[in-house]
Structure 1
Amino acid sequence: MDREDRIAEREQYGSLGTEVVCRVCGFHGGTYWHEGKPTELRCTCCGAESGIDDLAIPGDWHSVEDIRALRGYWAVQGGLWRLPEARPRDWDILKQFGNLPAEWR
């Protein structure tokens, strides 16, 4: 599948417009979705790539299952940061999960 086909396929999942919080881990750091389209940004914290690892329909319980599974896997593995040097000294995974919009919980 080429890049254009992947982009067209991802558009069916929708977005909340511009999203600046990672759907997987709740990290606030960058624009993950812009005007309803993924930016392909990799999360500094969990490493999830927008438009690849976070596809779901906002608020649809079943479509969010894959995001929840990835979140759980990442947390069980210790919540290791993709860029450890960016991890704040007082980082708390539970507080960060609190940043998740209700649609992605």
Structure 2
Amino acid sequence: MDKIECPHCRRQCTPKLWHYRPVFGALRYMATQHLCPFCGGVMYQTGGQLSFFGWLVTLIVGSIFVVGLVAQLFKSKDITEVLTGIGSVVFWGFIAYKLYKRFWK
């Protein structure tokens, strides 16, 4: 059986598998962590991507957000309100990106 090097302890080993259901389990597939039997470190992880239902929910929620944003921007005639709207989009986009990195990656 092939052995790989652990990035934490640098020993050659065959990883042990740990299967778990990620956060928002109905929206994601099961993930598997490959653990070093010597130091217990996570060598790498596989799985855990969005399922079809997860992509569908993400698409629907994102569409509702975009439609609401575009409606607000076109309703306003004042440039400061438009710039405030764009600033809030950047802010919430940053928050959404951080949540994506935390829970989906």
Asked if TM exceeds 0.5, the reply is no
Q: Which has the higher helix share?
A: 2
Which structure would you say has the larger RCO, counting Cα contacts within 8 Å and 6 or more residues apart?
1
Normalised to the residue count of structure 2, the TM-score between the two structures is 0.23
Q: Which has the higher strand share?
A: 2
**Quick check: which has more Rg, 1 or 2?**
2
Normalised to the residue count of structure 1, the TM-score between the two structures is 0.23
